[in-house]
């Protein structure tokens, strides 16, 4: 059904590229000429065309986000690869790698390419200018 025919306050799903995931919905807030104001699942509000098509109601599978991953394979099936610590790598693979036994990184946290992960320093401290006044100048003034 087109958005312009759906009453304000109704919860809809499958609006173009929004609210496809399980248990999500979009709320219609306001109609104005050719535009309709909607509230997205992220609580953002956005104006969209009143001619967009939407389905009235909520998506099923509302407990989708409450699923617990029980083993490493569950994560792998979702496309999430394992994360390896830089300290556990060889020096060729990461700046924190290498060393005998369990050693700490020995430098600030960084990516495998050497960029600082916690950000660069943003404040530039300027050197204080020291003004030396001549004693003769001080006596005359």
Q: Which residue has the higher pLDDT, 139 or 46?
A: 46
Domain positions in the chain are 3-56, 69-104
pLDDT confidence tier of residue 62, bands split at 50, 70 and 90: confident
Q: Is 18 helix (H, G, I), strand (E, B) or coil?
A: strand
Query: What's the rounded Cα separation, in Å, for the pair 101 and 126?
Result: 42
Q: Which residues contact 59 (CB under 8 A, 6 or more apart)?
A: 13, 14, 19, 20, 21, 22, 23, 24, 25
Angle at CA 132, nearest 5°, toward 127 and 137? 155
CB neighbour burial string for 26-37, b if at least 16 within 10 angstroms, e if fewer: bbbeebeeebbb
3-56 sits in which CATH class? Answer: mainly beta
What does the pLDDT look like over 23-58, one tens digit per residue? 899 999 999 999 999 999 999 999 999 999 999 998
């Amino acid at each position: 059904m087109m958005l312009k025919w759906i009453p304000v306050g109704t919860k809809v799903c499958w609006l173009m590229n929004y609210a496809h995931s399980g248990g999500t919905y979009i709320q219609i807030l306001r109609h104005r000429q050719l535009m309709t104001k909607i509230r997205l699942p992220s609580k953002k509000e956005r104006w969209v065309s009143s001619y967009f098509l939407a389905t009235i109601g909520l998506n099923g599978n509302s407990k989708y986000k409450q699923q617990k991953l029980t083993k490493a394979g569950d994560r792998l099936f979702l496309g999430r690869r394992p994360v390896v610590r830089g300290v556990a790598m060889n020096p060729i693979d990461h700046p924190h790698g290498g060393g005998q036994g369990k050693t700490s990184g020995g430098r600030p946290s960084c990516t495998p390419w050497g960029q600082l992960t916690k950000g660069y320093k943003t404040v530039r401290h300027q050197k204080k200018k020291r003004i030396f006044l001549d004693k003769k100048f001080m006596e005359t003034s």
